Amino acid sequence: MTTHDAPPVREPVSEEEADALRALAARERDRAATLAGLLEDIALNGLPAPEECRPWEEIREEHFRRLAGE
């Protein structure tokens, strides 16, 4: 008797589901690239002056409005 479990069998997805997953992966790659660029800019140039930044409350409310519109 073996103590190893058989690997789980993968359930195939439809072509439409695969396309949706690829589109999601592409969007996430774009978001990651944007974040990486921002972090590299901060590493190179330092943090922006507070006067040049938007308050987090404004950003939060904008995000809530965007979510409500979905």
Give the DSSP letter string of 5-58.
Answer: PPPPPPPP--HHHHHHHHHHHHHHHHHHHHHHHHHHHHHHH-PPPGGGSPPHHH
- Whether pTM > 0.75 for this model: the answer is no
Query: Which DSSP state fits 9?
Result: P
Compute the average pLDDT of residues 59-64: 95
The confidence score (pLDDT) of residue 6 equals 74
- Does the residue 6 lie in any domain? no
The confidence score (pLDDT) of residue 1 equals 54
Find the domain containing 24 and state its range. Answer: 16-68
The total number of structural domains in the chain stands at 1
CA distance 33 to 47: 19
pLDDT per residue as tens digits for the range 1-52: 566 787 889 999 999 999 999 999 999 999 999 999 999 999 999 999 999 9
- Does the residue 48 lie in any domain? yes
Compute CA 69 distance to the chain's CA centroid, rounded to the nearest angstrom: 19
- Does the residue 2 lie in any domain? no
The confidence score (pLDDT) of residue 13 equals 96
